[in-house]
Amino acid sequence: MRHGIAFATLSGLLISCTPTALEKQEIDPAFSEAARQSDVPRDLLVAIAYSQSRLDDRGGELAEDGSAGVMGLPESPLQDGPSLSHAAELIGQSPADVALDSRLNILAAAAELRFHGDVWENETGLELNDVADWAEIVGWYAGGEDAGMQRSYTREVISWIESGLVAETPNGEVIAIEPREIDAPWLNFKPVAGAGGDYSGNANFVKAHSSNYTNQSRGASDIDMIVVHTAQGSYSGTAYWFADSRANASAHYVIRSSDGEVTQMVYEEDKAWHGGHGTTNSRSVGIELEGYIEKPSTYYTDAMYSSLATLIVDISKRQGVTLDRDHIIGHNEVPGCSYTGGGGASCHTDPGSGFDWDKLMSKVNTISGGSSSGSGGASSGSTTGTGTLLGFVRENSIYSGNGISGATVTTSTGLSTTTDSNGLYKFEGVSAGYLTLSVSASGYATASGEEEVLASNTNWESIALTSTGAPSGIPAGLSPTGWQTVYGPDVTMDWDGVSGASYEVKVYFYNGGNWEYYYAYNTGSSTEKKFWPAVDDTYYAFSVRAKGGDGSSEWSDKSYFYFNN
């Protein structure tokens, strides 16, 4: 990541007087103390700290986005959100001490959450009793104004509590969260692929501030390189920093460590300020990875490598970037280092020696089908003879959509097959040369694709189909006329019971052509369940099964309703 403005008022102090006495400080007691003082759930504080810093205070050193300490409190607010100075004021301490002392950092962050929570309670008339109630306040803590990013941040924080967490601080202290179900079903709405921008796999599109990049009209002939960076900060903090006028820096994309989620910040046709080298910036696409180069095993997850590789291949197909290490480089490989923040190894070392280039390029090779030319087809192999052609047929996005089973794939040479249960088709013994594919499936608009088949190669061509008309996949015996419109804010689902049974209810929502899993509830012996749908003007469905000492029954047919609050 390219350095932006200097945080002289605080960062100079932090660098010069980091106290060694605090390096072995235990922080688990501080989470419990903060929870008692602020009435913010202890596990929520731990989960926020893990999302912000992986429980590493970094000796008080500011992250690139200007945040400090284990709780990632910004030295100055990023648009809207918490503030180091305000949090410090709430507990009667100086900002420098709160940045340096992990216990004070946790107490101050909890006080800041409680302060904002009190405002929220006064405005809404609701109470913050459990973790799920804090969802909106957690989103605010992310520090920005984009609703999609706030929900995404909250979903990650809550996931650490639902899945449980056992993490070790740099000092060897073990911090744990016992897993438990959080009754906040709206958090299970995953971002819809195609949130805007150039990449169909974007979960969010948060525009970088206009003072942090250059408007241009670059085309494929102008872009021949991809530069990989490490943000030296958190996912949401990095995104909101690029959206702040003070940053003087940006990247086209930011990728989250935990699950590989992608946010686009700058259109690819525009020049992002990421490499510290004007010529490289003019001809490249910049990608920031959440995390710190000194903690590669913590932040460089398999999900991140897979997401990065998928994004790189997508950029390559659209812009023609050659898929090799001469054209996919790290920030440390950018030429020149004529000023602080410039490119080159002497100015930047990201993504660092712990970044696994072999792993990344292997994934790139697999996803692209062996391509090294960036054209979408394999560049090696003979143009005579036969090869294998395969790919996925998926809903809306070839990378993140659900596979479409039973789709018909036909080639311009007369070959035809159908996709398997995962949406995969495969032709073997295909004559080398260019082929046009036509793909059709019930309920979807027909689509086509083109691929050059090279002999002795495995050639990939995946195709996305767009759904048409009303929701499909309604079980036999039900019809859309049976749907009911429910006016919110809540919905009660009920069903006929079975003597001596307990019940599990599974809820779905209709999203972009497919019924997607929403949430599951255990209701005990009750034959009804009330819940609060997250989105207006949305089709929902639920099914139920009985559970007893001998196991569970089959799931019932879906019952459908339309929610309109």
Set out the domains of the chain in order of their start, with CATH numbers: 8-188 (1.10.530), 204-368 (3.40.80.10), 386-465 (2.60.40.10), 480-564 (2.60.40.10)
Cross-strand bridge partners of residue 539: 562
Tell me the one-letter amino acid at 394: R
Q: Tokens representing 124?
A: 């809404």
Kindly list the distances between the CA atom of residue 450 and the CA atoms of 230, 316, 368, 375, 436, in Å, as whole numbers in the listed order: 35, 16, 14, 11, 5
pLDDT value at residue 370: 63
121-175 pLDDT, tens digit each = 888 888 898 888 898 899 899 887 777 888 889 989 998 988 888 888 888 888 8
Q: Which residue has the tokens 């469905």?
A: 541
DSSP state letters, 61-123: PPPTTSEETTTTEESS-SSSS--HHHHHHHTT--HHHHHH-HHHHHHHHHHHHHHHHHHHHHH
Identify which of 228, 533, 509, 488 has the alpha carbon closest to the alpha carbon of residue 354: 228
The DSSP H or E segment spanning 515 is: strand 514-524
Identify whether the C-beta of residue 152 lies closer than 8 Å to the C-beta of residue 261: yes
552 contact partners, CB below 8 Å, separation of at least 6:
504, 545, 546
Tell me the one-letter amino acid at 191: P
Parts of the chain with a pLDDT under 50: 1-23, 189-193, 371-383, 400, 469-483
d(CA 86, CA 141): 13
Q: Is 554 exposed, middle or buried (0-12, 13-18, 19+ CB in 10 A)?
A: exposed
pLDDT value at residue 540: 82
pLDDT value at residue 477: 29
On the CB side of 364, CA atoms within 13 Å amount to 27
Identify whether the C-beta of residue 458 lies closer than 8 Å to the C-beta of residue 388: yes
pLDDT value at residue 362: 85
Cross-strand bridge partners of residue 492: 530
pLDDT value at residue 485: 63
pLDDT value at residue 494: 82
pLDDT value at residue 125: 87
pLDDT value at residue 555: 76
d(CA 233, CA 212): 18
Chain length of the chain:
565
pLDDT value at residue 311: 96
Please list the alpha-helical segments (H only) found in 142-277: 147-163, 235-242
* Planar angle of CA 139, 144, 146, nearest 5 degrees: 80
Identify whether the C-beta of residue 128 lies closer than 8 Å to the C-beta of residue 121: yes
- For 312, phi then psi, to 5°, come to -60, -45
546-559 pLDDT, tens digit each = 877 656 677 777 78
- For 79, phi then psi, to 5°, come to 60, -95
What pTM was estimated for this model as a whole?
0.61
d(CA 178, CA 187): 19
Identify which of 284, 304, 137, 175 has the alpha carbon closest to the alpha carbon of residue 231: 304
pLDDT value at residue 78: 60
